[in-house]
Amino acid sequence: MAPRTFKNRVRKQSKMAESAMGEVVNGFPAETESGTPMPWFGMDIGGTLCKLVYFEPKNISPDELDSEVEILKKIRKYLIKNSSYGKTGHRDTHLQMDNVPLRGRKGTLHFIRFPTSEMGNFLILARSKGIATLVSTVCATGGGAYKFENDFKKEVNMKLAKFDEFDSLIKGMQYVDAHNPTECYYWAEPTDEKKCCKMNYDLSNPYPFLIVNIGSGVSVLAVYGPNNYKRVSGTSIGGGTFLGLCCLLTGCNSFEEAIELAAGGDNTHVDKLVRDIYGGDYQRFGLPGDLVASSFGQMNSRDRRSKVSREDLAKATLVTITNNIGSIARMCALQEKIDRVVFIGNFLRVNPISMKLLAYAMDYWSNGTMKALFLEHEGYFGAVGCLLQFNEHS
Ligand SMILES: Nc1ncnc2c1ncn2[C@@H]1O[C@H](COP(=O)(O)OP(=O)(O)OP(=O)(O)O)[C@@H](O)[C@H]1O
Ligand SMILES: CC(C)(CO)[C@@H](O)C(=O)NCCC(=O)O
């Protein structure tokens, strides 16, 4: 007989919980070889941010409550009661999705993020909550699912069920869009500050479309059907580049600060425009005078450098990175003969400047033939998608 240790008791409880509730009835995934599954978590561990999606089942019956492992109960309470965790963990309460179905249950999806650089502290916190005693498995995607696999095993006795980041991204997008009628939108009149507004877009018949995922780096995927896509391109000049350069140039210390600075700046003090070169438009090739001809092109002048503000530098950095991504997106869309481009990734978080720029650039340079689309849960699709795939994997 197994010794009566705490670990064995928890194991036994979780076994009892499973057999009492049954896989089909409650939708908990089957127990894996490694022990208890952490049933409702999906984690996307990226180069900058770790995204954690938690599904809270509705109407937990008294029997289920009784048989739920004490530690899981505590974790659930901790996550739901708080909207910030330590100094750097945040729950995006405005993105919460209520009454959505998952594996035969209805419940609430919660969206949590923290910097990947805090992974060590996250593991210490998870350990302090008793996770290591569960011998559990969690669904994970993103590069960190590979990079941190051994740390999860060593620090919290947790096995990672790994899923590909782009499979997860696409599955997550399809699921979230299907369950949130206002998920997809575009920017109408993106250059007119007064008239500009978000408009709902029906993405129920999406194929083919292009995904431009702007994370630390940028990946471009062409999606032809629910299980048919390819990664057509990518660039290392992405969200990480914006934040890195902005910190270097302005001394700012966070993404939020960088965006706030950019919102108060003027990139034309930093960039060289077509009119700085031509004195007006370059009519023959349709280049308007206010188009950026050379990003940061004024900064070779000592005099100009002495006059620019941190805000101007932040704005110029944002515009440079965004326009470059827009240009790559347009070329990919042209090459793949696709006219709808969905921009996602946390670079677009609290960042209407970039969204409007992308909306305008896609429309202008394609003569109105291409459309830039955006999704409310911009950075969370990988985490949702890997949570959805758990059954298939186990
Ligand atoms: N609070 C934040 N802290 C840091 N970066 C943020 C924050 N909010 C938005 N960002 C932006 O989002 C980017 C990261 O986006 P995202 O989480 O989609 O990518 P990732 O998964 O970390 O990267 P990759 O997919 O390349 O591994 C950052 O580079 C930054 O530009
Ligand atoms: C490495 C990944 C896929 C990690 O998500 C992403 O950061 C990326 O697509 N970077 C750009 C790599 C490239 O130059 O294609």
ipTM for the assembly: 0.99
For residues 148 and 100, state if they share a domain: yes
CA distance 346 to 329: 17
For residues 115 and 220, state if they share a domain: no
The total number of structural domains in the chain stands at: 2
What is the DSSP-derived secondary structure letter of residue 133? Answer: G
* Ligand 1 pocket by Cβ (under 6 Å): 46-49, 115, 142-143, 215-217, 239-240, 242-243, 255, 345-347, 349, 379
290 located within any domain: no
Helical pair 239-250 and 310-336, crossing angle rounded to 10 deg: 160
pLDDT digits (tens, 9 = 90+) for 150-170: 999 999 999 999 999 999 999
Which of 118, 155, 165, 336 does the annotation list as catalytic?
Answer: 165
Cα 258 to middle of ligand 1, angstroms: 13
3 located within any domain: no
216 lines ligand 2 (CB under 6 A): yes
What is the DSSP-derived secondary structure letter of residue 110? Answer: E
Neighbours of 206 (CB within 10 A): 18
299 located within any domain: no
CA distance 56 to 42: 12
Instruction: State the pLDDT at residue 3.
Output: 46
Cα 238 to middle of ligand 2, angstroms: 9
C-alpha angle 149/102/92, rounded to 5°? 65
Can you tell me which atom of ligand 1 is nearest the CA of 344? 18
Tell me which residues of the chain have a pLDDT lower than 50.
1-34, 392-394
Instruction: State the pLDDT at residue 38.
Output: 63
Query: What CATH number does the domain containing 136 carry?
Result: 3.30.420.510
164 lines ligand 2 (CB under 6 A): no
Going by their DSSP bridges, the two strands 218-225 and 228-235 should be labelled as: antiparallel
Tokens coding 369: 């033939």
Tokens coding 272: 């060289």
**From 48, 213, 218, mutation site for ligand 2 pocket: most ligand atoms within 8 A of C-beta:** 218
pLDDT digits (tens, 9 = 90+) for 17-65: 333 222 222 334 434 334 556 668 999 999 999 999 999 989 888 888 8
Instruction: State the pLDDT at residue 63.
Output: 82
For residues 164 and 230, state if they share a domain: no
Going by their DSSP bridges, the two strands 184-188 and 197-200 should be labelled as: antiparallel
376 assigned to active site: no
Structural contact between residues 46 and 116, judged by C-beta atoms closer than 8 angstroms: yes
Owning domain of residue 136: 36-171+382-389
| Tokens 């240790």 sit on residue | 5
119 located within any domain: yes
For residues 216 and 72, state if they share a domain: no
341 located within any domain: yes
Cα 24 to middle of ligand 2, angstroms: 38
For residues 237 and 89, state if they share a domain: no
For residues 358 and 229, state if they share a domain: yes
Instruction: State the pLDDT at residue 36.
Output: 56
Query: What CATH number does the domain containing 358 carry?
Result: 3.30.420.40
Cα 218 to middle of ligand 2, angstroms: 5
**From 51, 168, 219, 324, mutation site for ligand 2 pocket: most ligand atoms within 8 A of C-beta:** 219
